Structure 1
Amino acid sequence: MALINLLTKKQIEVLQSYLNDDWKYLILNGAVRAGKTVIDNYLFLLELKRIKQLAEREKEPHPQYILAGYSSNSIYTNVISSIENQFGIVMNTDRHGHYHLFGVDIVPAYTGSVRGIGAIRGMTSYGAYINEASLATHEVFQEIVQRCSVGSARIICDTNPDIPTHWLKTDYIDNHDPKARIKSFSFTIDDNTFLAKDYVDALKAATPRGMFYDRSILGQWVTGEGIVYQDFNANTMVIDDKNIPDGLSYYCGVDWGFEHPNPILLLGDDNQGNTYVVKDFTKRHKFISYWVDIAKRLQTEYGRNLIFYVDSARPDNLNEFQANGINAINANKNILPGIEYVAQKMRQGKFFIAKSASKGLLEELYQYAWDEKTGEPLKENDVRHNDRLDALRYAIYSKNKKGGFIPWN
């Protein structure tokens, strides 16, 4: 079977570079679903075979290699499981948590925290494969680079874009010094010609405008511009209370505050995937007993099993809710994935606010802007607060993404 039937043109270009070019770092970056990890997984296997041959020539009986990713789960999902599905190769761990293939000891390293350094500190590695490299803590990334000290050690990476000032972009992708020996390839979603056209068209149509589209579809390293929720339309998304359907699946979002406003938002989902903000309870300078009373009233009206997704910054308040029989759990507070999920609902026309609950939310929505330096929303100040929008994000994202961190890949 011809190679063009197995790989896209962009993946073949990467493979040719791997085989023929002189490089120390090979970095694939760009859009989601573009085929970066697929080709990197293949290169990972080629690297293991190369390392085994090199170790045999050097009479090294126990060559080691670093397999790095944000977490244990992301390494398994993006690399190990994918290799098993792609190539039918089963990779099990030993009692140390290491994988073994082609005679190479593969040492996992978790890049989401500086604690990941502990797994590789002191080792000498024949190379590394770093999945989701832009999510790596800079200190762990540098430690991986330092561990790859064998003369012919090489490092392959894949990543989705981040802000243009990210160290991976400035120090590596944009580094054209020949002595650095860095090869990088940028992918757009259209580079993956194996994806069904209707899938790509639907994904493009559903992806929120602005930063999310530029990163996820076009593969660009950009910051946001203007307001965060560009697809919000008050003319269609703020509706009369009488048009809120009955029988929704209800839940709440809570952002603790005192000097800052403390909102409790009641939301409901229908069976078509639409989300409605039904009620807004927001006050300043109220102690926890006040919010316990609000929560109990909501339980009485909407059921004892009503879930409250709360800000984890105040464990004492969470404990007080739970001690009073309120079904409260810490929210998933991941900022960008949470914002993207809410923005996607708006983009798809599946987000609505009851008119009686809209005033405070509208004020926040129209002031919720990107910080071009950090690529995240501007921090709160004495004039503008995002408390309702935080509670909104906690509720919607936590209800739909209960598994924790969702990588962009």
Structure 2
Amino acid sequence: MQPVALQGKAARAARIPDWARIVAYDGAVRSGKTTGELLMWASYCLHGPDGLLLIGGRTERTIANNLILPLQEIFGPERIVYTRATGRVNIFGRDCLVVGFNDESSREKIQGLTLAGALLDEGAVVPESAFQMLISRLSVPGARLFLTCNPEGPEHWLLKKYLQRARLWVDKHGVEHEKPAGDDVLNLFRVTFLLDDNTWLVKNNPEYIAELKKQYTGLWYRRMIESEWVAAEGAIYPMWSPARHVIAWEDLPPLQRVLGVGMDYGTTNATVALALGLTTEEQPRLVLIDEWRYDSRETDVRLTDVELSERLRAWLAGLRHPDGSVLEPEHIFLDPSAASFSEQLWKDGVRTWPADNDVTEGLADVASLLALDRLIVTDRCKGFIKEAPAYSWDPKATEKGLDKPLKVADHSMDGARYVVRSTKHLWQRAIGLR
């Protein structure tokens, strides 16, 4: 095992005060905060108080990708042994539960436990009730919580109820702010990171940092690059421009593959499907090729699932490139809540998959693609072209610390987000994004 030397702000973050019961690292993506947290956690597993430990995050999959696999890369799989079947990981001989906190009911997974320590990834997207339950379970003397998060809105519960009450805060500029112990002060040590705090990347891969900064725009740039807890306001896709992003269907470039179709399902609202392709250009791009839409409000005729399935299948069978070649989508991603329609499609021979419905991440993906001109839309996607300019954040949700789009004229927006997010593992490297 090679020793890992911490430098700069990461080294300061490693000097944890003895009184700290919560250690919180927040700020920019790829800024080194997770690596620092993992090294602190490894030390805690070796030298922390005896008792049961826990590693948590949004889902078991994100925990494995963001925490367990990096731990194995740093220390070796023989020291970090993950057993998915039992939901446990052994770290230097210490047994740790692996728990996904994906909804409000997830707090029940840890109810009644007595914990000696916890490591929490993506703390800002964990339900508040689960977070509070986790804090209450850390009852072994000397127990400590380590957490990381990216910034959210300024009214977010994690910021208001915890991070802003830190006894010691090292801000993004490296300035220390210390408060005297008191009723409104928590024994919380907080360090806020900037992207440039990742000294290894700054030294060895400055091109990557420059590219990463280009991938974020607007709200996401301020949060993920500048480490600011700012509100989601105004247009979601302010970079959208028909002149820049829309092409005639006749000008559709040659395609490597049709990655999939994203579907938003409505009973009284519109049902929409959009096909996403990957071009063969020297710099490949994603393209929304075609759109199928049925809105009962426009026809005063509400179709059954059987009838919707019939019309969708006819559209799928007719998908063509302007050169006449048949286009066959590799996957059909459906609104996860559309259970009855999914069942009907399966009966009719159309295999569907629940779409990745991570709204914030999906919106960020689409925004980055539009900002970098890596996503174009043909003029057949009329619903998308109509909805994009007015697609906005919900101000009432923002007041509550939540990032949610207004649920008005958003069906094509949802369908596009579903297929973009759900196929990211297929297109990310192909179009040169990290």
* TM-score of the aligned structures, taking structure 2 as reference length: 0.80
Paired amino acid for 2:157: W
The alignment-based identity, stated in percent, is 21
Which residue is 2:120 aligned to?
130
Which residue is 2:200 aligned to?
194
Which residue is 2:172 aligned to?
none
Structure 1 residues 45-89: Cα deviation after superposition (integer angstroms, max 9, x where no partner): 22223325xx5xxxxxxx222322222223333222222211236
Distance 1:234 1:127, change over 3 A: same
Given candidates 136, 145, 162, the residue that maps to 2:135 is 145
Shift of 1:229: 0.9
Contact 2:253 2:280 (8 Å CA) reproduced: no
Which residue is 1:27 aligned to?
24
Query: For the residues of structure 2 that align with 1:80 and 1:253, how far apart are their CA atoms?
Result: 31
Which residue is 1:275 aligned to?
286
Contact 1:331 1:394 (8 Å CA) reproduced: yes
Query: For the residues of structure 1 that align with 2:295 and 2:141, how far apart are their CA atoms?
Result: 62
Matched, 1:77 2:65: yes
Given candidates 165, 168, 171, the residue that maps to 2:158 is 168
The count of aligned residue pairs is 385
Contact 1:305 1:327 (8 Å CA) reproduced: no
Which residue is 1:8 aligned to?
7
Query: For the residues of structure 2 that align with 1:293 and 1:99, how far apart are their CA atoms?
Result: 48
**Mind listing any 5+ residue stretches in structure 1 that lack a counterpart?**
56-62, 403-408
Given candidates 307, 310, 315, the residue that maps to 1:298 is 315
Contact 1:107 1:120 (8 Å CA) reproduced: no
Equivalence map 1:37-76=2 (5 Å) = 37-51=34-48, 55=50, 63-76=51-64
Paired amino acid for 1:90: R
Matched, 1:91 2:80: yes
Distance 1:114 1:394, change over 3 A: closer
Q: Give secondary structure in 1 for the equivalent of 2:43.
A: helix
* TM-score of the aligned structures, taking structure 1 as reference length: 0.84
Which residue is 1:378 aligned to?
405
Matched, 1:324 2:337: no
Contact 1:93 1:99 (8 Å CA) reproduced: yes
Which residue is 2:229 aligned to?
221
Contact 1:108 1:119 (8 Å CA) reproduced: no
Paired amino acid for 1:232: W
Q: Give secondary structure in 1 for the equivalent of 2:80.
A: coil
Deviates more, 1:187-196 or 1:148-157: 148-157
Paired amino acid for 1:253: G
**Mind listing any 5+ residue stretches in structure 2 that lack a counterpart?**
168-180, 297-301, 320-325, 427-433
Equivalence map 1:218-367=2 (5 Å) = 218-247=226-255, 249-250=257-258, 251-272=260-281, 273-285=284-296, 286-287=302-303, 288-302=305-319, 305-306=328-329, 307-358=331-382, 360-367=383-390
Which residue is 1:405 aligned to?
none
Structure 1 residues 77-116: Cα deviation after superposition (integer angstroms, max 9, x where no partner): 3222222211236222579544444564433333224554
Contact 1:68 1:75 (8 Å CA) reproduced: yes
Distance 1:326 1:199, change over 3 A: same
